[in-house]
Every structure is written in structure tokens, then in C-alpha cells.
Copies of this chain bind each other. A is one copy, B any other.
Amino acid sequence: MNTKTNNAIGVFDSGIGGLTVVRSLMERLPFENIIYFGDTARVPYGIKSVETINRYAAQITEFLIKKDVKLLIVACNTMAAVAHQSIIDLSPVPVLEVIDASARIATKSTRTKSIGVIGTPATINSNAYTRAIHLLDKEAKVFSQACPLFVPLVEEGWFDHPATKLIVQEYLKPVIAEQIDTLVLGCTHYPLLKPLLQDILGPEVTLIDSAEAMADIAADLINKQNMGNQNCLPPDYVFYVSDLPYRFQTIGERFLGRTLGRVELVSL
């Protein structure tokens, strides 16, 4: 590796959701500098076409590469599902993405080999989770369900509203019927619905939080490749957004679980 170990990890997302990945990275890798990019002007990606998602993902990759990051983390499941290869093609540094990370943890966790996956329409329609899980375990059965209303419900902060409960019950009915023992939360917004999802699925179903899965895999890579920051100093966190940061700041702190530091506006 030519990259300096004190260079930042670049994390990118379609908006706010990737902050759940940043939160897990901060906990697992407390000395790493992090540069985050959230495409808040063009969020959400989950209902856009493959071509548009690829075009936007390439712009963000170029932006972060110019910031000399040592590692790129695609926090957004939708981008990981449809634009992973074009991001790798553009990047001189390693690229990790949430789908592979979550698939690894899910195949290790399941006992019955019946795995449910929930995500945005773009993520589910891409079949990226099914492919990633089958690469690791050919015998696993994957049951997918798009849940387009979860992102707006989470952004509204309705984590345990009776309407949210009804919507969760309706979306999960088909995967519950398949007697899954593991459910992958295939969108960075969904960890905020964890208590409600666990309540509806029952304690015997293991929830795979893609943010935690991502932090585990990133910590592994950094240790194996000796890429860890050797300066044991309080790290720098910088958050770039493509729309004015007011809404990002108010909702973002709910996702990050702490105050956001420097938030800067950039136009791509």
C-alpha cells in the first residue's frame, strides 16, 4: 500500500442513512479519520434507475478519491447493489460495500439456511443480496422483500408508531411465512426500526444490521493490511453533503447517536 495510514476512510451514501455505518466505524475503529459524503440533494436513490445511480456513484467516488482516502466504504445498499463494479473500476484504493459484508455475517449466523432480506426497491430488484449469499453458501434460501415506506417512516422518526407497526407487519408477512431464522436489514435506515422488527419477528430471528456488519469487515481488512492509523489521537470527522446541511444536521444526529462536527456543502 502506498496510501498513508493516517489518511481518512471515505464513507459514502445517498443521504443520511450511512451515518449508521459511520457510528459503527467510530465504535470499532476509534482512531480512524473519516470523511463522509451524503448526497442529500438527490436522495433517495432506492427508486432511481440503474443508469442514474451509476452516474451519481461515479461522481461521489471521484470526489472522495481526490480527498486522498485510504479505503472507500459504500454504505448505501442501493449503490452497492447496482454500482459496485463501476466504483471499483474508478478507485485506486480498496472498496468495501455493505452487501458483501452483510451476506458474510448472515451466512455465518443462519442455522436453518432460510435468510430473509429487506431493502429498497432498487436493492431488492437488483438481486445483489441473493447473489452475494449464494456465492458464500449455495444451499441458502433467500427470501427478499422491498419495503419502500421504511425510509420515509424512519426519516419522520416514527420508530414505534401504530402505523409503522401495521406497515412492518404487512411487508414482513411473506418472509415470516417462509420461517426465516435470519433477517438482513439491507438498508442503512432500517437499524432504527430494530426494536419494532425484533418485536414482530420474535426473539428466535437474528437481525443482521448492515452497519455493524460493515464495521466488522472494515476492521478486519484494516488489521490484515496494516492500514490502521498509528496516531492514537482524537480523529477528524468531516461530513460533506450536496444540499444545505440543516436537515442533515437535525436528523443526522439521530442516526449517529452523537453531535455532528464539521458539515460542509459541496455541489457535484
Binding site for B on A (CB under 8 A): 40-42, 47-52, 148-149, 151-153, 155-156, 158, 161-164, 166-167, 170, 243-244, 246-247
In the bound assembly, the distance between CA atoms of A185 and B151 in angstroms comes to 23
Among B41, B153, B156, which residue has its beta carbon within 8 angstroms of that of A42? B41
Contacts of A42 in B (CB 8 A): 41-42
Q: Is the interface of A mostly helix, strand, loop or mixed?
A: helix
In the bound assembly, the distance between CA atoms of A47 and B247 in angstroms comes to 8
* Closest chain B CB from A222 CB (angstroms): 35
CB-based nearest B residue for A47: B247
Assess whether B152 is in contact with A162, with CB atoms less than 8 Å apart. no
4 nearest A-B residue pairs (beta carbon) = A49-B244, A163-B166, A152-B152, A163-B163
* Closest chain B CB from A181 CB (angstroms): 27
Contacts of A149 in B (CB 8 A): 149, 152-153, 156, 158
Residue among A52, A155, A163, A166 with the highest chain B CB neighbour number at 10 A: A163
In the bound assembly, the distance between CA atoms of A52 and B246 in angstroms comes to 13
In the bound assembly, the distance between CA atoms of A116 and B156 in angstroms comes to 21
Assess whether B52 is in contact with A41, with CB atoms less than 8 Å apart. yes
Of the A-B pairs whose beta carbons lie under 8 Å apart in the complex, a sample of 28, sorted by A's number, is A40-B48, A41-B42, A42-B42, A48-B243, A49-B243, A49-B244, A49-B246, A49-B247, A50-B244, A51-B244, A52-B243, A52-B244, A148-B152, A148-B155, A148-B156, A149-B149, A149-B153, A149-B156, A149-B158, A151-B152, A152-B152, A161-B166, A161-B170, A162-B166, A163-B163, A163-B167, A163-B170, A166-B166
Contacts of A243 in B (CB 8 A): 48-49, 52
In the bound assembly, the distance between CA atoms of A246 and B47 in angstroms comes to 11
In the bound assembly, the distance between CA atoms of A247 and B121 in angstroms comes to 11
* Closest chain B CB from A200 CB (angstroms): 14
Contacts of A153 in B (CB 8 A): 149
In the bound assembly, the distance between CA atoms of A46 and B152 in angstroms comes to 12
Contacts of A247 in B (CB 8 A): 47, 49
Contacts of A148 in B (CB 8 A): 152, 155-156
Contacts of A164 in B (CB 8 A): 163
In the bound assembly, the distance between CA atoms of A152 and B151 in angstroms comes to 9
In the bound assembly, the distance between CA atoms of A161 and B169 in angstroms comes to 13
In the bound assembly, the distance between CA atoms of A243 and B47 in angstroms comes to 10
In the bound assembly, the distance between CA atoms of A170 and B164 in angstroms comes to 12
